[in-house]
Structure 1
Amino acid sequence: MRYFEDDQALDGNALAGRLAEIFSVDMTSARVTCSGCGTVRPLAEGRAYVRGPGVTLRCAECQMVLGRIVRARDSVWLELSGVASVQITGVPS
């Protein structure tokens, strides 16, 4: 089933340049919104648990899991299911 009939749509590769710009900045200063309690804080204020096979970041307010990072060989998995939004400032234009 196709949800959008739009000749103007491109595939996800069109985001490559913009994603490279965003992820070249210090993400610890990015403001994240917890999808559990709605608290907005810099990512650096979350609680990081680093003793497992990856890193888990929890909300400092409600302890909901904001996301996880796991590295294995030549891959990195980034999961941010507990983040409703990310506000990144200082991105070069």
Structure 2
Amino acid sequence: MASNVADLMLDGDPATQLLQEIFTFDITLAKIRCRECGSAFGLGALALVGDSQEARVRCSNCESDLIRASRTREGLLLELSGTRHLHF
């Protein structure tokens, strides 16, 4: 595990590829609303942390996880529990 969150920030490589496998359209154009604080953002403007096995999108306002995608033995798992809605 990285000791610093900045070490996990990605330019759009492994974690983005994981999300692109789930969403066949350009997911970065979607609008997302945080369940915790109600803030809305363009998904492409939010912090994406992780690697090719797990990716998390975090709210810029309250830092809660909005989306978590992970690769399992059975396939891909997508969790949207921190999201009020995703508009695309």
- TM (normalized to structure 2)? 0.66
Equivalent residue for 1:28?
28
Structure 2's unaligned 5+ residue stretches are 1-22
Residue type at the aligned position of 1:31: K
Equivalent residue for 1:58?
58
Equivalent residue for 1:85?
85
Structure 1's unaligned 5+ residue stretches are 1-22, 89-93
Identical positions, percent: 30
Where relative contact order (Cα < 8 A, 6+ residues apart) is larger, the structure is 2
RMSD: 1.8
Q: Which segments of structure 1 move beyond 2 Å, counting only runs of 4 or more?
A: none
1:45 aligns with 2:45: yes
Shift of 1:72: 2.7
Residue type at the aligned position of 1:54: E
Equivalent residue for 2:69?
69
Shift of 1:56: 1.2
Equivalenced residues, count: 66
Q: Secondary structure at the match of 1:62?
A: coil
Greater share of strand? 2
Mapped partners of 1:50, 1:40: distance in 2:
22
Residue type at the aligned position of 1:47: A
